[in-house]
Chains A and B, each alone.
Chain A
Amino acid sequence: MLDPQPLLLTLKLAAHTTILLTIVGIPLAYWLAMGQSRIRYIVEVITSLPLVLPPTVLGFYLLLLFSPTSSVGGWLVAHFNVHLAFSYAGLVIGSMLFSLPFMVLPLTSAFRQLSPTLLDAARTLGKSESNILFRVILPNCQMGLISALILTFAHTVGEFGVVLMIGGNIPGQTQVASIALYHEVETLNYSAAHLYAAVLVGFSFVVLMALRLISGKSRHA
């Protein structure tokens, strides 16, 4: 029988990652799209790095950083008793970094496509920048926002390398579906592996189909 726990843990991780990345990603994308500062080009490149880096590279550096023997990891353990290596919290942070471009890039591109005079018009109506973000920018970037949410969620579901490096394979804590699949194959339990694989294929198909339908709808609107 299929153990549902890795699947539930995967959904929980994807949900937490998506929610936290939305909170971080919207202001970051706004700054990248609207800001004047030159360092935003560098920040945009750094944001995109996880697209091309092998996930194990990111996982490796995070593992070193989270380790209680490192300055950051040691400080967290000493002051807050927080252990990030091989823990769920560490997994969430790793997933956020790994999925950052999938949240930020669609949002940045949607924000850039907005006519700048819309923002000017709202400013002449006496609106504050945060009011403009929530009342003008986001409502007119709905498709970009939905794409960003779906892609972030799906990408987190599909991650493997980062999780393996910083989370390991602790059932109920860090053992997500892709890791459980790997584990079943290693122990030659192919029937369970098949089930995990089929669920992941089905999920990915549904997600891409949903995106296709949404973008098709916005084109015909």
Chain B
Amino acid sequence: MHNLYLDIQTPMQSAHGARLLQIKTQIQAGSITAISGPSGAGKSTLLRLIAGLNTPQQGEIRYGDQCWFNGKTCVATRHRHVGMVFQDYALFPNLTVRAQLAYAQQQRNDAQIDQLIEQMGLQQLASRKPEQLSGGQQQRVALARSLAAEPTILLLDEALSALDRSLRDELQQHLLNWQAQSGAMIIVVSHDLGEIFRLASRVIQLENGQMIADGTPAAVLLPQRASGRLQLMGTLLAIESAGVAALLTVACGNETVATLVSPEEAARYNIGQSISLTVSAANACVSAVN
């Protein structure tokens, strides 16, 4: 297991036109690093450069003392042992779930396939083809397939985005276990704050092809001082007079809440109006959600 050294300058096409992707950093062996940033920032391009699917215009990519790219030589993707889970899953339409995993293996190992199928909850789907799977199921197969190849670097391009909360939690735990066991390096593109905080020890934030922040998730993603108040946006549904006070009923997201205000204040609002409710976070009740 080695460190990955990147020093890349390469043009890329984004929604905002041509941009230069400039990255210079080193990623620790056995670490989990998250890449975050708006779409078009260069996150997927960066993963493709590491995998060798794109070639940078200039710079250097080194894995330990192996040179993967230095402007003259370029090591082919298949010699890099870099696994990747693609945003569109990229499952082979002609193969069943089990056959996808078998194809990924360097050496046939049925026990490993059985284990992956069980860990990813794919037992009922093992003999199905991709067209018979939902998006979330395809994403699990894509992840299982990349693990079956036993990569030394695993690149995840929003690999858990199509899964519901509980399955996502389960697979995050599975990835952490796999990483601890294999000692592989994981680089994950994610927009999900919970996922980044749970998995990654480091976040690189990209914008317009440049690294704008780099550090622990807490240092990069948490604001300098958390706000003590919580603001909710809602729609005023009803105003009822209750003697010395008025009762406002407000729809906030999927919930309807009621609050008391003075009659004078209630007179300033109209039914159907967008209003904001500000509550103190100091007296919030906290509980775990399963």
Contacts and interface: CB of A to CB of B under 8 A. Distances in A.
A125 interface: yes
Specify which of A121, A123, A140 lies most central, judged by the most chain B CB atoms within 10 Å of its CB.
A121
Interface string A157-198: 000000000000000000000000000000000000000000
B109 to A, nearest CB: 14
B9 interface: no
B272 interface: no
Contacts of B146: 124-125
B90 A121 contact: yes
Nearest to B76: A123
A117 interface: yes
Interface stretch (B77-85, B190-198, B215-223, B226-234): B77-85
A125 B149 contact: yes
Contacts of A121: 84, 86, 90-92, 145
A212 interface: no
Nearest to A114: B93
Interface string A42-60: 0000000000000000000
Contact of A117 (B76, B79, B82, B88): B88
What bracket does the count of chain B residues touching chain A fall in? 20 to 34
A124 B51 contact: yes
Interface in B51-81: 51-53, 76-79, 81
Given A120-B53, A123-B53, A128 B78 contact: yes
B78 A140 contact: no
A118 B92 contact: yes
A126 B149 contact: yes
Contacts, number: 59
A123 B48 CA distance: 12
Specify which of A120, A125, A127, A139 lies most central, judged by the most chain B CB atoms within 10 Å of its CB.
A125
B116 to A, nearest CB: 14
A126 B78 contact: yes
Contacts of A123: 51-53, 76-78
B269 interface: no
B106 interface: yes
A128 B151 CA distance: 16
Contacts of A135: 103
A10 to B, nearest CB: 34
B90 A140 contact: no
B182 to A, nearest CB: 16
Nearest to A142: B94
A16 B146 CA distance: 42
B106 A118 contact: no
A139 B94 contact: yes
B90 A117 contact: yes
A117 B51 CA distance: 13
Contacts of A140: 92-94
B86 A126 contact: no
A58 B187 CA distance: 57
Interface in A120-157: 120-128, 135-136, 139-140, 142
Interface string A101-123: 00000000000000101101111
Contacts of A127: 78
A72 B25 CA distance: 60
B125 interface: no
B256 to A, nearest CB: 45
Given A117-B90, A125-B103, 11 more contacts: A115-B88, A124-B53, A124-B77, A124-B82, A125-B83, A125-B146, A126-B106, A128-B78, A139-B94, A140-B92, A142-B94
Interface of B: 48, 51-53, 76-79, 81-84, 86, 88, 90-94, 103-104, 106, 145-146, 149, 151
14 contacts: A120-B48, A121-B145, A123-B51, A123-B77, A123-B78, A124-B77, A124-B78, A124-B149, A125-B149, A126-B149, A128-B78, A135-B103, A136-B92, A139-B94
Interface of A: 115, 117-118, 120-128, 135-136, 139-140, 142
